[in-house]
Structure 1
Amino acid sequence: MRIGIVVDSACDLPGDFLHEHRIEILPITTFVDNDTFVDNRDPAVRQRFLDNDLGARSHAAETEPFSVEEIRDLFLRRLVVDYDCVFCLTLMSTRSGVHANASKASFAILTDYRPIRRDAGVSGPFLMRVIDTENLFAAQGITTVEAVRLRAAGQNPGQIRERLEYLAHNTYGFMVVRDLYYMRARAQKKGDRSVGWFSAALGTALDIKPLLRGYRGTTGPIAKVRGFEHGAETLFNHAIKRVRAGLLTPTLCISYGGRLEELDALPGYASLKMVCAEHGVTLYEAPMSVTGMVNVGTGAVTLGFASEEHEFSM
């Protein structure tokens, strides 16, 4: 069976990996003042965003996921012929309309695909499965990498779906951001009052950074540290502990909202890479998408892994 994999552009994985494994991207369009960015993980689009320093004014940006009709057209135009089953892995449904749009589109796709496959000389039914990864950014990469592995191992769609849903429910995403004022402005834009002016001002004055966690469809702070570099090091050290304890997949994904070479300068990152290598864990480094930088600000670090349930410890 020919199995395809689709992710949205917020999924932070290396471009070479996405290309090699023929992973389709559902773009998310961002409107920043008079600039429009169709985020399909094109490096040139991301570079234009950074070169124009649009991160400084993108807190008021509007984002627009692929519509129901656009998703339907993408599948009926090509994917229902190229594949017999497609898994569509989306960022957490509580934070974006991508999952809802893909789910709605699936009804039309599964109703209308038959004559298109017949006319193309393709026999047999077409299957589509929409899975909520229950996480964001780098953490979305965990289920995507596993989908690629399961496909290569010849697993059937039922086995793949069961495994991916289990992993999604046990994937942890972590993030540290540089600019609390940006986070407050962006949260207000989206109607989220969780970052108040006073806490943003106090945190900025004292250089306090919240460490944020995404888990099972929810996001929120889990700790506070002094300084961005200390925050990044704290997340790297936590990941090291989980790698040593044993992950559910030999995969750790990390993304950075800037030039990727700056990751190596962050304290603790060299140790994380060394421990991953020692334990046979593949570390995927990826630039954060334009969508991610718009929502959390440039310079943020996110990482994700799948693990048994545990509490965060400093």
Structure 2
Amino acid sequence: MRVGLIVDSACDLPYEFRRKHDLFVLPITATIDHQTYIDEHDPVRTQEFYQSGLLQKGHHAETQAFTAEQIHDLFMERIVSQFDVAICETVTRSRSLIYQNASAAMNTVMAQYREVRDAAGVEGSFSMRVIDSKQIFAGQGLLAAHTLSLLDKGLSKNALRHEVESFTDRIYTCVIPRDLHYIRERARRRGDKSVSALVAFLGRALNITPVIFGQGAEGQPVAKTRSFEVAVEKVINYAIGRVEAGLLTPYVSLSCGLSWPEIEELPGINRLRDACERQGVELLLSQMGITSSIYLGPGSVCLALGAERHHFNDFQ
């Protein structure tokens, strides 16, 4: 039985990891200064965007989910004849229409897939499941890595779905937004009131860099620092402490809206690498994709790991 894992381009993972495991990336449309781009999380295109400055503030940038019809066509062309079972994990439905549109596409695919498989000479039935990851960016990446490890165990389809959906509630995410004003403006245009004007004002006027922590996409400020570097150190210290205390899956996912030289200069990054290596944990370090950079703003950082219930300050 051939099982395929689909993620969308809001999912941040290292390119080599995605290539090694043959992950299919569902694209997202990005519109920057009235120019439309298709974000497939291609590393070359992403690097071009960073170098061009199109992801910097001052440019009008928006993202839009593919329609149900576009996703249907992709699934029919690229998925139904290649796999017998497909799992599609999307960015949290509270932040995007991708889950809704992918679910609608799945329903039409399941009604029409037989003709495509017959034409390709592929025997047997096809099944598909769309799962709301309840995560953003690095959190999506962590869930995808954990799902791949579950696939290696040969679980039944129902058991696999149960394990994946249960694990989504055990992922903890840290976000360091570089520019709260950028975040507030993006949220305002989306109609998202989760970032208050007051917090954005304080961040801009007093140069406060917060650490936002929580399960999945629902986080709260747990630290307010006077510099990005101090915020990064707090998150790295948290991650090292949690790694040493034990994780529920042997991965830490870290995505950064920075150039690679800037990523390598992050305070504590080598200490985190060393801690992961000592504990047999793989650090999934990636450059934040176009979609996640537009959402959080360039220069932002997102870290995710899976663990038992705890608090951020337990590891400071």
Q: Does TM, normalized by the shorter one, top 0.5?
A: yes
Question: Cα deviation per residue 1:105-144 (whole Å; 9 max; x = unaligned)?
Answer: 1111111112222232222221101111111111111121
Shift of the alpha carbon at 1:289?
0.6
1:126 matched to 2:126 = yes
Could you list the runs of 5+ residues in structure 2 that have no partner in the other structure?
none
Q: Compute the displacement of 1:47 (Å).
A: 2.1
Letter in 2 for 1:18: R
Q: What is the match of residue 148 of structure 1?
A: 148
| 1:246 match | 246
In structure 2, distance between residues paired with 1:191 and 1:60:
16
Contact 2:181 2:203 in 1 (8 A): no
- Cα distance in 2 for partners of 1:275, 1:16 equals 22
Q: Shift in Å at residue 194 of structure 1?
A: 4.1
After TM superposition, the structure 1 = structure 2 runs for residues 39-118 of structure 1, keeping only pairs within 5 Å, are 39-57=39-57, 60-118=60-118
Quick check: 2:179–2:203 contact (8 Å CA) kept in 1?
Answer: no
TM-score (norm 2): 0.94
CA distance in 1, matches of 2:143, 2:183: 27
Q: Is 2:66–2:98's contact at 8 Å kept on the other side of the alignment? A: yes
Number of residues of Structure 1 aligned to a counterpart in Structure 2: 314
Question: 1:32·1:57 contact (CA, 8 Å) conserved in 2?
Answer: no
Pairwise CA distance, 1:240: 1.1
Query: Which runs of no fewer than 5 residues in structure 1 stay unpaired?
Result: none
Deviation of residue 276 (structure 1)? Answer: 0.8
C-alpha spacing 1:198/1:164, structure 2 compared with 1 (3 Å)? closer
Tell me the TM-score normalized by structure 1.
Answer: 0.94
Report the equivalent of 2:187. Answer: 187
Seq. identity, %: 40
1:1-314 correspondence to structure 2 within 5 Å: 1-57=1-57, 60-313=60-313, 314=316
1:55-95, Cα deviation, whole Å (9 max, x unpaired): 22467422111211111111112311110000101111111
Give the match's secondary structure for 2:122: coil
Worse-matched range after superposition: 186-195 or 211-220: 211-220
Cα distance, 1:308 vs structure 2: 0.7
Q: 1:115 to 1:16 in 2, by over 3 A?
A: same
TM-align CA RMSD? 1.7
Judged with a 3 Å threshold, the aligned counterparts in structure 2 of structure 1 residues 59 and 155 are, in CA distance, closer, same or farther, namely farther
User: In 2 relative to 1, CA 172–51 (structure 1 residues): closer, same or farther, beyond 3 Å?
Assistant: same
Contact 1:139 1:304 in 2 (8 A): yes
d(CA) in 1 for partners of 2:83, 2:232: 40
Q: Deviations over 1:214-267 (max 9, x none)?
A: 524524433322211111111111111111111000100101101123222122
Residue range with higher mean Cα deviation, 120-129 or 105-114: 120-129
Aligned-residue offset at 1:6: 0.4
**Contact 2:30–2:38 (CA<8 Å) still a contact in 1?**
yes
Name the CA shift for 1:190/1:214 in 2 (closer, same or farther; >3 Å): farther
Shift of 1:197: 4.2
User: What secondary structure is seen at the aligned counterpart in 2 of 1:13?
Assistant: coil
Distance in 2, Cα, partners of 1:214 & 1:62: 25
In structure 2, the CA distance between the partners of 1:163 and 1:146, relative to structure 1 (3 Å rule), is same
- SS at 1:108 equivalent: helix
Deviations 1:179-203 (A, max 9, x none): 1221121121112344444432332
The answer as to whether partners of 1:93 and 1:217 remain within 8 angstroms in 2 is no
Distance 1:60 1:194, change over 3 A: farther
Q: Which amino acid aligns with 1:258?
A: L
Q: Kindly indicate whether the alpha-carbon contact (under 8 Å) linking 2:213 and 2:219 is maintained by their aligned counterparts in 1.
A: yes
* Residues 244 and 279, structure 2, Cα contact 8 Å, conserved in 1: yes
- 1:218 and 1:201, CA in 2 relative to 1: closer, same or farther beyond 3 A? closer
